[in-house]
Structure 1
Amino acid sequence: MRSSDLDAVLRIQREAYGDAYQESADVLGRKLSFAPEACWLAERGGEALGYVFAHPWQAGVPQLHALIDHPPGQADHGFLHDLAVSPRARGMGVGQALFGKVRVWSEQAGHRALTLVALADAVAYWRGLGFVPQALGLPDGYGAGAVFMRRSLAVRD
């Protein structure tokens, strides 16, 4: 993904979530600048169909809609910040392909786990990809029923 893709990302974000979870181009651009190797835009025939933002993280959950000053120096896991697929691309495997890229990135970075916040209607999806709910309070903004989840990764020695 490149910063020039953020307009397409914002369009997909609105299609996928409506107005409830719109983050600004500044917030998403900052995440992209932290870990461009962990952010992808899925396209087919020049049409943007989905995206994922991930970055290294240490503990807890980043505040939604907030600029993060800098990524942690000693990150032990990857945080999958957002993965969204346009409704017109659902059922095409776009989400699983994007998740696969993030998983490989995180494993290659030596992370012990991937974490994310699943919105209420996505908990079952993430469970199907091996994520397990964790008891952790969430910052405001993630919505009722949102759940912090973790998926262990194979650690290479």
Structure 2
Amino acid sequence: MILQGTQASAAVVLRTMRVDDLGAVLRIQREAYGDAYQESAEVLGRKLGLAPGACWLAESGGEALGYVFAHPWAADAPPLHERIEDLPAQADHGFLHDLAVSPRARGLGVGRGLFGKVRCWSEQAGLGALTLVALADAAAYWRGLGFTAVPLALPTGYGAGAQFMRCGLEAGA
């Protein structure tokens, strides 16, 4: 998928993520979240290894601008900062673990494009919903994409004001 950015001279390309993208992912993660939510290359690399078809990178002119990690899931919210050893055998929804966009790319449609990839992946997999944990300042963004808050106690690490959210999908509805 190619997005045409109004502020960029080159098109934004969305492609499946590769292990050698993790350095750029960590850079974007720090730009987007500061020091608050840094996950290790090992934790993120494991997610990529478990669900390579559900992880994408946005780039323009060879520069990484954003990323998304998702995977099949069957429980509530997985713990943050911990390695997931195996995916559940009976996954019934996709979990959007992290979507981040570099401040340099905001306003170019990168976040919506990456979300569209995850939504399409989830629908094609026959999953009934997408879930995520929205950090306090991102809940309104996710509501705008069709997510609703679900009352749920979250594992430690997500921070004050974080919300578990769910969006039903056509494929599994």
In structure 2, the residue matched to 1:99 is 115
Displacement of 1:91: 0.4
TM-score normalised to the size of structure 2?
Answer: 0.89
Deviations, residues 6-45 of structure 1 (Å, cap 9, x unaligned) = 0000000000000000000000000000100000010011
Displacement of 1:155: 2.6
Unaligned runs of 5+ in 1: none
Residue 91 of structure 1 aligns to a residue whose secondary structure is coil
Identity of aligned residues (%): 76
In structure 1, the residue matched to 2:74 is 58
Cα distance between partner residues in 1 of 2:32 and 2:142: 16
Displacement of 1:59: 1.1
Cα distance between partner residues in 1 of 2:20 and 2:62: 14
In structure 1, the residue matched to 2:141 is 125
Amino acid at match of 1:36: P
In structure 2, the residue matched to 1:88 is 104
Out of 113, 117, 136, the position equivalent to 2:129 is 113
1:15 aligns with 2:31: yes
CA contact (8 A) 2:128 2:172 kept: no
Deviations, residues 99-157 of structure 1 (Å, cap 9, x unaligned) = 00000000000000000000000000000000000011100000000000000001369
Cα distance between partner residues in 2 of 1:40 and 1:103: 12
Displacement of 1:2: 0.5
Aligned residues: 157
TM-score normalised to the size of structure 1?
Answer: 0.98
**4+ residue stretches of structure 1 with deviation over 3 A?**
none
